[in-house]
């Protein structure tokens, strides 16, 4: 009977170790879950030709731009952000609108979603490559 009890105890320990290790390995990191969620929202819009964007700076180190997809705003980096380019023109137009009291102003930009990038605050943000028709 002593041998049987040791076998049972050993089996219980092995099952506990296997289960604990398996559960821990199966849980993805929160930052990867957040990135996967943002990428999942963007995927159906990968072939869109234009996007509605707004300038919405926050008090944290997140992306200053937002892109509207399916009626919801998502933080985004707009690229390339070059002097005289379409991103600068959009920024100027939206800052002018805000100065006139229209803080909800938006612009529509041609471009393509090109994945995600982590902001300085580690929040996943879309990357919108804006077409330059200059």
Q: What is the pLDDT of residues 4-25, one digit of tens each?
A: 666 565 566 556 655 555 555 6
Choice among 29-33, 48-52, 111-115, 125-129 with the minimum mean pLDDT: 29-33
**pLDDT computed for residue 70 by the predictor:** 92
Phi, psi for 55 (deg, rounded to 5): -95, 120
Number of neighbours of residue 35 by Cβ within 10 angstroms: 20
**pLDDT computed for residue 4 by the predictor:** 63
pLDDT for 70-127, tens place per residue? 999 999 999 998 999 999 999 999 999 999 999 899 999 999 999 899 898 888 999 9
In the chain, domain spans: 30-130
**pLDDT computed for residue 77 by the predictor:** 95
Contact criterion met (CB below 8 Å) for 126 and 116: yes
**pLDDT computed for residue 31 by the predictor:** 73
**pLDDT computed for residue 102 by the predictor:** 93
Split at pLDDT 50, 70, 90, the class of 67 is very high
Contact criterion met (CB below 8 Å) for 50 and 106: no
């Amino acid at each position: 009977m002593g041998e049987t009890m040791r076998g049972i105890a050993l089996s219980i320990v092995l099952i506990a170790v296997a289960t604990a290790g398996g559960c821990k390995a199966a849980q993805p990191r929160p930052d990867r879950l957040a990135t996967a969620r943002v990428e999942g929202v963007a995927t159906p819009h990968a072939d869109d030709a234009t996007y509605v964007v707004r300038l919405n700076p926050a008090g944290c180190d997140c992306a200053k731009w937002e892109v509207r997809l399916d009626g919801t705003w998502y933080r985004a980096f707009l690229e390339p952000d070059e002097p005289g380019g379409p991103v600068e023109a959009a920024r100027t137009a939206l800052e002018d609108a805000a100065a006139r009291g229209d803080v909800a102003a938006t612009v529509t930009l041609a471009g393509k979603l090109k994945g995600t990038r982590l902001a300085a605050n580690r929040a996943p943000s879309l990357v919108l490559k804006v077409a330059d028709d200059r």
